[in-house]
Structure 1
């Protein structure tokens, strides 16, 4: 690694700020495979000595890579190249559960439960689920992982009439609803960008502030009744969402 971090690698003029030059050097080494997932970087003091840069410059350059998720820092252990996460493409035209989606890919599924139980509903749950006075809401909150990699935080809300016992959900929520004859057949989803706060980032194993995808889903029974209100956070480095677009029929196009 000594041949990677040398004073000759940095230009005093013309190459931009020195911390950005260090950022580019490490990022290019990761992209080219010179630095592999799990490789340990020299300490801040060692990097400064090897490159001739100040410790402040080194700290800033490394911090940029930690913020982008390319490096991870472990307290008491050091700084490491982050593990590669396989990018998954998710079709937006299919109403599937996380369990079903991963099974189609031949991948394992794990859930880490954060909370599940019956609660008094929040105003947004009353509105989304169309709850009546005195009705409770079943909440399911868990981290969804595949092949040992945390990919999403799922926070689902259902009326107590739909799911009277939240503890009965161990793996797939949709499988439980299927058994009760209450599986949704259509849904409306809204996707927005989000920067993960410290709590959610820790659950997903990424640095705070990195990019994520916030997905809000309201699912419906054939009768039109709302069955599920779910707010999920997905890792931005792990998912691409794709949808097929078709030309509108002749009579529906703008003149």
Structure 2
């Protein structure tokens, strides 16, 4: 704890009331990189014991940082560092790829690959993709990044005749498919709020218990054939999904 937060020095630090000094010490640790996004803060009682201050003082400093959006409390898990990220809006009226979305915002899209494989399909993949006997499924599992910041955890499945070589996908799946003559013209999406599992929070670099937007997509070719099925978990602190509604004629 002394390397990250030199709490034992708090009493000798100048700069106003103790809670202000503690608050500044935590902020300095964040700005210097000693405390990073998703890191857990020591328990309030541990901070109080080491710094030789009351828990009321500790709570006041933490409350201020929570109010400023630099810390977040997760019931049953603790208090975690949160690095503010720019919020992005994704219109639901347009069928675009993640790479296109980021390029439109002047950001660089990237991928941290977890899986690129041809496999035997699950029962769900067989039914949703309309696969017949002997067909395989191309699976893509990755963390999508914007300017190297994790934004979404994505799983995509496609028929193997549409994507025979998953390793050929670099950043933009849709760009590769277009070069092969496959272009989605419509999609159905289902959106729900979920709480991320521990392994998902680690992949996205968010505190345990964080919420996400789960987006399930079924994309279709002009022929009506299903081209892909995917499920993406978007960080709720960075992404807003926006729909434009109109009122129909009476």
TM-score band (shorter)?
0.7 to 0.9
What is the CA deviation profile of residues 18-56 of structure 1, one whole-angstrom value per residue up to 9, with x for unaligned ones?
xxxxxxxx9xx79xxx947924578853445454128xx
Q: Give the TM-score, by structure 1 length.
A: 0.74
Are 1:138 and 2:130 matched, yes or no? no
- Structure 2 SS opposite 1:118: strand
What is the CA deviation profile of residues 51-82 of structure 1, one whole-angstrom value per residue up to 9, with x for unaligned ones?
4128xx96xx79xx6xx98359xxxxxx8742
Where does 1:24-103 land on structure 2 (aligned, <5 Å)?
35=27, 38-39=30-31, 44=44, 45-48=46-49, 49=51, 51-53=53-55, 70-71=71-72, 81-103=81-103
- Structure 2 SS opposite 1:151: strand
Q: Is the 8 A contact 1:69 1:207 kept in 2?
A: no
Q: Give the TM-score, by structure 2 length.
A: 0.76
Task: Say how many residue pairs are matched.
Answer: 214
Structure 1, unmatched stretches of 5+, are 10-25, 73-78, 251-255
Q: Distance in 2 between matches of 1:37 and 1:185?
A: 49
Cα–Cα, structure 1 residues 36 and 177, in superposed 2: closer, same or farther, change >3 Å?
A: farther
Q: Distance in 2 between matches of 1:154 and 1:117?
A: 14
Q: Is the 8 A contact 2:70 2:83 kept in 1?
A: no
Q: Distance in 2 between matches of 1:112 and 1:197?
A: 18
Q: Distance in 2 between matches of 1:138 and 1:4?
A: 60
Structure 2, unmatched stretches of 5+, are 1-9, 36-40, 74-78
Q: Is the 8 A contact 2:80 2:207 kept in 1?
A: no
Aligned partner of 2:229 in structure 1 is 229
Deviation at 1:122, TM superposition (A): 0.9
Cα–Cα, structure 1 residues 5 and 167, in superposed 2: closer, same or farther, change >3 Å?
A: same
Aligned partner of 1:160 in structure 2 is 160
